Structure 1
Amino acid sequence: MVAVSAFEDGFTALRANPILFVAGLLVGGGSQLQYVDHLIESPLISAGVSLLWLIVFPFVLGGFIGTAQTAIDGTDPSLTRFFTAARTHYLRLLFATVSFVLLVFGTAIGLGLVGFVLGIGTMALAAIHEMAAFTAGVVSLLIWLVTILLVIMFVQFYDTAIVIENESVTDAFRRSIELVRSNLKSVAGFSLAWLGLLNVFFIPDYLLQLILTDAGPADVLPIDLGIPIAVLLPFGVAVSAVGFAYCYTVYTAYYMRLIALSSAVPEST
């Protein structure tokens, strides 16, 4: 099975090439920049740091995917390979990432407007039958959520298409849609497993978010863990670094297996 093999490839590549954890550490540290405002109490600086990270992230991602590709291929990955891949694909990854965000948010806002119009009708329906109105509201919310997830699933491989196959921005999205459509069942299963695993690695990050907001962990969990921020923050960096390194190595391996599978199957005429 392609998905299972990709998870095995990721473990093998990481075990043989610890340098991948260096790139993972960059992302792990960068993911914690969102908490700068809680440490320095300056919203302006916090916004600037967050914007800077959004600009830098495609550089780190491109370098990581390129390095992971060489590790999976069995060649010798290095920091030179990391910076070469990052520099070569940066501009396309930056534009593609912005396009991806706009596409997802545009879909969410567009469907939200449709839901708002339907919500007016639901309010009128509530005056007639409350259960029917509640059901209609739940169904519309599920349609909104599923549609957004489908959009993300179909275009998710734009970054690997750029780095591994050297596609342009528009061709990268087309390539992703083509591969997902041809392997829909496999990609759906992989995406669910991959996303679930990634969220496990981000549990310390979620706990930190609870601590730094008005709701504490005790409001969500049955017990107060009593973990100080000074411990949880570096621990979150380390765990997210490992999680990113493993999950995105698996992600790269899965894409490489998908394109190998698609090239092995002759196109129908």
Structure 2
Amino acid sequence: MVIVSAFKDGFTALRANPILLIAGLLVGAGSQLQYVDHLIESPYLSAGVSLAWLIVFPFVIGGFIGTARAAIDGTDASLTHFFTVARTHYLRLLLATVVFVLLVFGTAIGFGLLGFILGIGSMALTVIHEMAAFVAGVISVLIWLVSILVVIMFVQFYDTAIVIENKSVTDAFRRSVGLVRSNLKSVTGFSVAWLVLLNVFFIPEYLFQLTMTDAGPADVLPIDLGIPIAVLLPIGIALSTVGFAYFYTVYTAYYMRLIAASTDSQDSV
């Protein structure tokens, strides 16, 4: 099974090439930068850091995918290779990342407006039947959420298409959509498993987010864990480092198996 094989490939590659953890550390530490305004109370600096991270992230992800591919193939998985691949594909990945963000936000806004219209209808429906209005409201929210997730699922492989197959920005999105359409059941199962397992590694980060709000972990969890920020932050960075390194290696391995399978099917026709 492609999904199981990809997870095995990721474990084998990461165990044989701990260099992948360095890229994971960059992302793990970078993901914590979004909380800088809460720590130093400077929203302008936070906005600057977030923008800088958007610019740097394509470089990191490009280098990581290239290094993960080399590790899976058993070739040159080194820092030199990391920076070479990152520089080679950076501009296309930066532009594609901006397009990806615009697609997701466009979908969210578009279906958000649809949900707003349905919400107005739900308010009118309240006069007739409160339960029916509640159900209609829940359905509109679910439609909004599912629509965003579907768009993400179909275009998610744009970065691997650029790095592994050297596609242009537009061809990368077409390639991603085509692969997902041809392997819809497999990709859906992989995406759900990948997302759920990845988020397990981000639990300390989510707890850290709660400490940055008025709620706090104790208001969400049945017990107060009593974990201070000074402990949650390094644990969050460590787990997100390992999580990113492993699961994005799995992500790369899965894409490589998808394109190999599609090539084999074309050759057999």
TM range (shorter): over 0.9
In the other structure, the counterpart of 2:130 is: 130
Which sections of structure 2, spanning at least 5 residues, go unmatched? Answer: none
- In the alignment, the residues of structure 2 paired with residue 115 and residue 267 of structure 1 have an alpha-carbon distance, to the nearest angstrom, of 45
Counterpart of 1:134 in structure 2: which amino acid? F
Counterpart of 1:243 in structure 2: which amino acid? G
- In the alignment, the residues of structure 1 paired with residue 212 and residue 137 of structure 2 have an alpha-carbon distance, to the nearest angstrom, of 32
In the other structure, the counterpart of 2:249 is: 249
Moved over 4 A (4+): none
Greater CA drift, 44-53 or 181-190: 44-53
- After superposition, the C-alpha distances for 1:150-179 in whole angstroms (9 at most, x for unaligned) are 111000000000000000001000000000
Indicate yes or no: 2:5 matched with 1:13.
no
- After superposition, the C-alpha distances for 1:242-267 in whole angstroms (9 at most, x for unaligned) are 00000000000000000000000027
Task: Return the offset for 1:49.
Answer: 1.1
Root mean square deviation, CA, Å: 1.2
- In the alignment, the residues of structure 1 paired with residue 239 and residue 221 of structure 2 have an alpha-carbon distance, to the nearest angstrom, of 20
- In the alignment, the residues of structure 1 paired with residue 37 and residue 266 of structure 2 have an alpha-carbon distance, to the nearest angstrom, of 54
Seen in structure 2, the aligned counterparts of structure 1 residues 268 and 78 have a Cα distance that, compared at 3 Å, is closer
In the other structure, the counterpart of 2:80 is: 80
1:81 is paired with a residue whose SS is helix
In the other structure, the counterpart of 2:3 is: 3
Counterpart of 2:178 in structure 1: which amino acid? E
Identity of aligned residues (%): 82
- In the alignment, the residues of structure 2 paired with residue 226 and residue 179 of structure 1 have an alpha-carbon distance, to the nearest angstrom, of 46
Greater CA drift, 117-126 or 160-169: 117-126
In the other structure, the counterpart of 1:164 is: 164
In the other structure, the counterpart of 2:29 is: 29
In the other structure, the counterpart of 2:209 is: 209
Question: Where do residues 130-209 of structure 1 align in structure 2 (5 Å cutoff)?
Answer: 130-209=130-209
Which sections of structure 1, spanning at least 5 residues, go unmatched? Answer: none
Greater CA drift, 144-153 or 159-168: 144-153
- In the alignment, the residues of structure 1 paired with residue 151 and residue 114 of structure 2 have an alpha-carbon distance, to the nearest angstrom, of 17
Indicate yes or no: 2:222 matched with 1:222.
yes
Task: Return the offset for 1:23.
Answer: 0.6
Task: Return the offset for 1:38.
Answer: 2.2
Task: Return the offset for 1:268.
Answer: 9.4
